[in-house]
Protein backbone atom coordinates (compact mmCIF):
# COMPACT_ATOMS: atom_id res chain seq x y z
CA UNK A 1 0.00 0.00 0.00
CA UNK A 2 2.90 2.31 0.70
CA UNK A 3 4.32 1.70 -2.78
CA UNK A 4 0.94 2.37 -4.42
CA UNK A 5 0.61 5.59 -2.46
CA UNK A 6 4.05 6.68 -3.65
CA UNK A 7 2.99 6.02 -7.24
CA UNK A 8 -0.59 7.33 -7.21
CA UNK A 9 -0.98 9.49 -4.09
CA UNK A 10 -4.08 7.51 -3.04
CA UNK A 11 -4.88 4.22 -1.30
CA UNK A 12 -6.77 1.61 -3.37
CA UNK A 13 -8.83 -1.30 -2.13
CA UNK A 14 -6.59 -4.25 -1.27
CA UNK A 15 -8.15 -6.48 -3.91
CA UNK A 16 -6.64 -4.44 -6.77
CA UNK A 17 -3.02 -4.73 -5.65
CA UNK A 18 -2.34 -8.09 -7.31
CA UNK A 19 -2.92 -6.88 -10.89
CA UNK A 20 -0.77 -5.27 -13.53
CA UNK A 21 -2.54 -2.53 -15.47
CA UNK A 22 -4.13 -4.60 -18.30
CA UNK A 23 -5.39 -7.27 -15.90
CA UNK A 24 -6.62 -4.62 -13.44
CA UNK A 25 -8.75 -2.97 -16.11
CA UNK A 26 -10.01 -6.35 -17.30
CA UNK A 27 -10.90 -7.40 -13.75
CA UNK A 28 -12.77 -4.17 -13.02
CA UNK A 29 -14.57 -4.39 -16.36
CA UNK A 30 -15.66 -7.91 -15.46
CA UNK A 31 -17.19 -6.59 -12.25
CA UNK A 32 -19.17 -3.96 -14.14
CA UNK A 33 -16.72 -1.16 -13.36
CA UNK A 34 -15.92 0.35 -16.76
CA UNK A 35 -13.08 2.91 -16.99
CA UNK A 36 -13.91 6.61 -16.94
CA UNK A 37 -17.20 6.09 -15.12
CA UNK A 38 -18.20 7.29 -11.67
CA UNK A 39 -18.45 3.74 -10.32
CA UNK A 40 -14.96 2.93 -11.61
CA UNK A 41 -13.51 5.96 -9.83
CA UNK A 42 -15.21 5.29 -6.48
CA UNK A 43 -14.82 1.49 -6.47
CA UNK A 44 -11.05 1.81 -6.73
CA UNK A 45 -10.26 3.99 -3.70
CA UNK A 46 -10.16 2.24 -0.32
CA UNK A 47 -12.98 4.26 1.30
CA UNK A 48 -14.94 4.51 -1.98
CA UNK A 49 -14.16 8.20 -2.35
CA UNK A 50 -14.12 9.61 -5.86
CA UNK A 51 -10.77 9.74 -7.68
CA UNK A 52 -10.88 12.32 -10.50
CA UNK A 53 -9.22 11.23 -13.76
CA UNK A 54 -8.44 7.84 -12.28
CA UNK A 55 -8.03 6.00 -15.58
CA UNK A 56 -5.44 8.51 -16.79
CA UNK A 57 -3.59 8.26 -13.48
CA UNK A 58 -3.51 4.47 -13.67
CA UNK A 59 -2.19 4.55 -17.24
CA UNK A 60 0.58 6.95 -16.25
CA UNK A 61 1.58 5.70 -12.79
CA UNK A 62 0.30 2.19 -11.96
CA UNK A 63 3.34 -0.03 -11.40
CA UNK A 64 1.55 -3.20 -10.17
CA UNK A 65 1.29 -5.91 -9.40
CA UNK A 66 2.10 -4.91 -5.82
CA UNK A 67 1.29 -8.15 -3.99
CA UNK A 68 0.67 -11.81 -4.77
CA UNK A 69 -2.67 -13.31 -3.74
CA UNK A 70 -2.60 -16.61 -1.87
CA UNK A 71 -5.72 -18.43 -3.17
CA UNK A 72 -5.84 -20.53 0.00
CA UNK A 73 -6.16 -17.35 2.05
CA UNK A 74 -8.69 -15.27 0.18
CA UNK A 75 -12.33 -14.32 0.58
CA UNK A 76 -14.89 -12.61 -1.64
CA UNK A 77 -15.77 -8.94 -1.25
CA UNK A 78 -18.90 -7.35 -2.67
CA UNK A 79 -19.03 -3.63 -3.43
CA UNK A 80 -22.50 -2.23 -2.65
CA UNK A 81 -24.13 0.38 -4.83
CA UNK A 82 -22.19 -0.21 -8.05
CA UNK A 83 -24.73 -2.27 -9.98
CA UNK A 84 -22.29 -5.07 -10.81
CA UNK A 85 -22.93 -8.65 -9.69
CA UNK A 86 -19.34 -9.86 -9.38
CA UNK A 87 -17.24 -10.23 -6.26
CA UNK A 88 -13.54 -9.47 -5.95
CA UNK A 89 -10.95 -11.78 -4.37
CA UNK A 90 -9.55 -10.22 -1.19
CA UNK A 91 -6.52 -11.37 0.79
CA UNK A 92 -7.45 -12.97 4.14
CA UNK A 93 -5.51 -13.71 7.30
CA UNK A 94 -4.88 -17.08 8.93
CA UNK A 95 -8.38 -17.08 10.50
CA UNK A 96 -10.28 -16.25 7.32
CA UNK A 97 -10.82 -12.55 8.06
CA UNK A 98 -10.30 -10.09 5.22
CA UNK A 99 -7.34 -7.85 6.01
CA UNK A 100 -8.52 -4.31 6.69
CA UNK A 101 -6.68 -1.01 6.28
CA UNK A 102 -7.17 1.97 8.59
CA UNK A 103 -6.28 5.45 7.32
CA UNK A 104 -6.85 8.23 9.86
CA UNK A 105 -6.59 11.96 9.13
CA UNK A 106 -6.00 14.79 11.62
CA UNK A 107 -8.30 17.82 11.53
CA UNK A 108 -6.86 20.83 13.46
CA UNK A 109 -9.20 22.56 15.88
CA UNK A 110 -10.33 26.11 15.19
CA UNK A 111 -9.88 26.82 18.91
CA UNK A 112 -6.35 27.68 19.99
CA UNK A 113 -4.92 25.02 22.29
CA UNK A 114 -7.72 22.51 21.67
CA UNK A 115 -6.98 18.97 20.59
CA UNK A 116 -7.44 18.10 16.90
CA UNK A 117 -10.19 15.72 15.87
CA UNK A 118 -9.60 12.52 13.96
CA UNK A 119 -11.53 10.92 11.13
CA UNK A 120 -11.23 8.46 8.26
CA UNK A 121 -10.11 9.95 4.95
CA UNK A 122 -12.98 11.94 3.49
CA UNK A 123 -11.38 12.39 0.07
CA UNK A 124 -8.92 10.36 -1.96
CA UNK A 125 -6.32 13.13 -1.84
CA UNK A 126 -6.11 13.47 1.96
CA UNK A 127 -3.12 12.14 3.87
CA UNK A 128 -3.28 9.52 6.61
CA UNK A 129 -1.24 11.77 8.90
CA UNK A 130 -2.34 10.14 12.17
CA UNK A 131 -2.39 6.42 11.36
CA UNK A 132 -1.95 4.15 8.35
CA UNK A 133 -1.90 0.42 8.87
CA UNK A 134 -3.12 -3.03 7.86
CA UNK A 135 -5.09 -4.95 10.49
CA UNK A 136 -5.99 -8.58 11.02
CA UNK A 137 -8.96 -8.95 13.37
CA UNK A 138 -7.42 -12.12 14.77
CA UNK A 139 -8.95 -15.37 15.90
CA UNK A 140 -12.13 -13.81 17.31
CA UNK A 141 -12.91 -12.20 13.90
CA UNK A 142 -13.78 -8.77 15.34
CA UNK A 143 -11.84 -5.55 16.01
CA UNK A 144 -10.34 -5.56 19.48
CA UNK A 145 -11.38 -7.80 22.39
CA UNK A 146 -9.40 -10.72 23.77
CA UNK A 147 -9.54 -14.47 23.40
CA UNK A 148 -12.80 -15.12 25.29
CA UNK A 149 -15.12 -12.11 24.78
CA UNK A 150 -18.80 -12.04 25.68
CA UNK A 151 -21.14 -12.81 22.79
CA UNK A 152 -22.85 -9.42 23.15
CA UNK A 153 -19.52 -7.69 22.58
CA UNK A 154 -18.74 -9.90 19.58
CA UNK A 155 -22.11 -9.08 18.01
CA UNK A 156 -21.64 -5.35 18.55
CA UNK A 157 -18.10 -5.30 17.13
CA UNK A 158 -19.08 -7.46 14.15
CA UNK A 159 -22.22 -5.51 13.25
CA UNK A 160 -21.27 -1.94 14.13
CA UNK A 161 -17.49 -1.58 14.35
CA UNK A 162 -15.84 -3.79 11.72
CA UNK A 163 -14.70 -2.32 8.41
CA UNK A 164 -16.75 -4.89 6.52
CA UNK A 165 -20.09 -6.66 6.73
CA UNK A 166 -20.60 -10.41 6.57
CA UNK A 167 -23.11 -11.74 4.05
CA UNK A 168 -22.27 -15.47 4.02
CA UNK A 169 -19.45 -17.96 4.53
CA UNK A 170 -16.25 -16.34 3.21
CA UNK A 171 -18.29 -13.58 1.55
CA UNK A 172 -18.12 -10.01 2.83
CA UNK A 173 -19.35 -6.58 1.79
CA UNK A 174 -17.31 -3.40 1.81
CA UNK A 175 -18.59 -0.26 3.49
CA UNK A 176 -19.96 2.83 1.79
CA UNK A 177 -18.38 6.19 2.73
CA UNK A 178 -21.11 7.13 5.24
CA UNK A 179 -20.40 3.95 7.23
CA UNK A 180 -16.84 5.01 8.07
CA UNK A 181 -18.17 6.58 11.25
CA UNK A 182 -16.94 7.46 14.74
CA UNK A 183 -17.73 4.06 16.24
CA UNK A 184 -15.53 2.32 13.66
CA UNK A 185 -12.85 4.99 13.96
CA UNK A 186 -12.57 4.54 17.74
CA UNK A 187 -11.63 0.89 17.31
CA UNK A 188 -8.10 1.93 16.22
CA UNK A 189 -7.45 4.53 18.93
CA UNK A 190 -5.21 3.77 21.90
CA UNK A 191 -7.24 5.76 24.40
CA UNK A 192 -10.31 4.12 25.92
CA UNK A 193 -13.03 6.72 26.58
CA UNK A 194 -16.59 6.00 27.65
CA UNK A 195 -18.54 3.95 26.64
CA UNK A 196 -15.60 1.56 26.14
CA UNK A 197 -14.17 0.59 29.55
CA UNK A 198 -10.59 -0.61 29.77
CA UNK A 199 -11.80 -4.21 30.14
CA UNK A 200 -12.81 -4.14 26.45
CA UNK A 201 -9.55 -3.67 24.51
CA UNK A 202 -9.59 -2.20 21.06
CA UNK A 203 -7.37 -2.96 18.10
CA UNK A 204 -4.15 -1.42 19.43
CA UNK A 205 -4.78 -1.93 23.15
CA UNK A 206 -2.92 -4.46 25.27
CA UNK A 207 -5.09 -7.58 25.46
CA UNK A 208 -6.48 -7.38 21.93
CA UNK A 209 -5.88 -10.41 19.70
CA UNK A 210 -5.64 -8.22 16.57
CA UNK A 211 -2.47 -8.00 14.48
CA UNK A 212 -1.42 -4.55 13.26
CA UNK A 213 1.28 -3.43 10.80
CA UNK A 214 1.68 0.36 10.66
CA UNK A 215 3.41 2.12 7.78
Residue 190 has pLDDT above 70, yes or no: no
Q: What is the model's pLDDT at position 70?
A: 87
CA–CA dist 110, 116 (Å, integer): 9
What would the pLDDT profile of 58-93 be if each residue is shown by its tens digit?
999 999 899 998 888 999 999 887 766 678 999 999
Say what the pLDDT of residue 98 is. Answer: 95
DSSP letters for 95-114: TSPBPEEEEEEEE--SSTTP
**pLDDT tens per residue, range 160-171:** 999 999 877 788
Angstrom distance (rounded) from CA 13 to CA 42: 10
pTM for the model? 0.91
Say if CB 106 and CB 130 are below 8 A apart: yes
pLDDT at 15: 95
What is the chain's mean pLDDT, rounded?
89
Neighbour count for residue 7 (Cβ, 10 Å)? 16
Give the residue-averaged pLDDT of 132-141.
94
The top-scoring range by mean pLDDT among 115-119, 160-164, 170-174 is 160-164
pLDDT tops 90 at residue 103 = yes
Task: Give dist(CA 197, CA 186) in Å, integer.
Answer: 13
pLDDT digits (tens, 9 = 90+) for 12-52: 999 999 999 999 999 999 888 999 888 899 999 999 999 99
Give the model's confidence band at 191: pLDDT under 50 very low, under 70 low, under 90 confident, else very high: low
Residues 6 or more apart whose Cβ sits within 8 Å of residue 79: 31, 43, 48, 88, 173, 174
**Residue 193 confidence (pLDDT):** 53
Amino acid sequence: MSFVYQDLGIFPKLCWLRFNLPSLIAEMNGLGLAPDTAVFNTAFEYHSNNVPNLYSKLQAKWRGSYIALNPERSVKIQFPGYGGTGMADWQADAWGNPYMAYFIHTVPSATVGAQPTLRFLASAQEKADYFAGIVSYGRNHVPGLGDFPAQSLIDDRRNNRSLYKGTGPNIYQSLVPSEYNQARLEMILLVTPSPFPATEPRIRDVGSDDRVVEF
